Structure 1
Amino acid sequence: MSVVKSLVGTWKVDTNASENLGAYLKAVGLTGDMIEGASKLPVEMKWTANGNQITQTMKAKGNSHKTVFTLGDEFTETLAGGREYKTTFTEEGGKLVRRQKGTPFNSTSTYQVVGGQLVETRTCESSPPVSCVRKLNKA
C-alpha cells in the first residue's frame, strides 16, 4: 500500500506533458474528433484509500468514471462504450500496475510519483503495442 499512499489526493493532467496520447487513443478505438478532444481535455484524477479499499475517480468535461478495488483482487470493470474488462491492480517495483483483459485489446497502466508528478503510462497490447505517458500535477 505504500505506492497507493503516495497517489492519494487529487491530480490534474498537464496537457502539455503528454507523450504519444493520440496514437494510444487511436489504438484503443477512438476516432479523429474524439482523439483531438480527449487530448485537450482537462482531466482530474483523484485517489483515496480506506483500509484495503482503494478508489480512483477520473473527471473530464462533466463525465466521471469511478473504479473501486482491492489490491490483487480481479474485478469486472465497465468502461466508456460499455466495454467490459477483467481488471487487477497490484503494486510492483514501486509502481501501481493496472492490468485489463478484454475485447478488443488487453492493456496495462502504471502509476508512480516521480519528482512530485504522477506519471501514468498506458500500453495497449495491440499488434504492435502502443504506449503513451501522461503527467499529472498535485491539485
Structure 2
Amino acid sequence: MSVVESFIGAWRIDNDASENLEGYLEALGLTEEVVERAIKSEVEVEWKLEGDTITQVRSSGGRSYHISFVLQEPYTETLPGGKEFKTTYMEEDGKLIRIQKGSPYNCTSTIELINGQLVETRVCESPNPVSCIRRMNRL
C-alpha cells in the first residue's frame, strides 16, 4: 500500500495539538486576517485517490481549498492568501513529502501517520527558518 492510500478519508485538524502555526504563517508573509482565520478555524481535510491523481480538500468556515496532483509532477499552487509556489509531492521512507518553491521562501512539509494521527511538519526555509506541526484525527 502506498503512503497516500493510508491517508484516504476525512480528517480534522486538532488546533490544540498544533504547534507554532501562527509563527509559520507569518513567516510566509500571509495577512493578519488569513493567519487569524487559519489558527482559529475548525479545518477538515479529505484525501482522495483516483488512479494516479491525489486530491486533497481542506474545508473550513464554509470555504474549501482543493488541490489535485500526481506524485513527482510539479504544478503551480496558489495558497488561500494568494502566495504561489511550484509544488511537488513525493513518497519517501513511508512519508509524503511536499516541496514548495516560491517567493519569498521555499518550504517543505512531511506528512506521516504517527499513532493513528496524520502529522504534518512544515518548515519554511527563510533567513530565520521556522517550522510548525499540525496534527489531524480521522473522522
Q: TM-score, normalised by structure 2?
A: 0.93
The answer to whether structure 1 residue 45 and structure 2 residue 45 are counterparts is yes
Q: CA-to-partner distance for each residue in 1:45-96, whole Å, 9 max, x for gaps?
A: 1100011110011111122111111100111112224322111000011110
Residue 3 (structure 2) aligns with: 3
Describe the SS at the equivalent of 1:72: coil
Q: Which runs of 4+ in 1 moved over 3 A?
A: 31-34
Amino acid of the residue matched to residue 110 of structure 1? T
Structure 2 counterparts to residues 1-139 of structure 1, below 5 A: 2-139=2-139
The gaps in structure 2 that reach 5 residues or longer are none
Contact kept, 8 Å, 2:121 with 2:132, in 1: the verdict is: yes
Secondary structure at 1:121's aligned position in 2?
A: strand
- Deviation string 1:12-40 (CA, Å, 9 cap, x unpaired) is 01111011111111111134454333212
Identity of aligned pairs, percent? 53
Tell me the TM-score normalised to structure 1 length: 0.93
| C-alpha distance in 2 between matches for 1:33 and 1:55 | 26
- Tell me, in whole angstroms, the C-alpha distance in 1 between the residues paired with 2:129 and 2:73: 25
Number of equivalences: 139
**Larger displacement relative to structure 2 (31-40 or 55-64):** 31-40
Judge conservation of contact 2:45–2:59 (CA < 8 Å) in 1: yes
**Which runs of 5 or more residues in structure 1 are unaligned?**
none
CA contact (8 A) 2:30 2:81 kept: no
Aligned-residue Cα RMSD (Å) equals 1.4
Give the distance between the partners of 1:99 and 1:44, measured in 2 at CA. Answer: 22
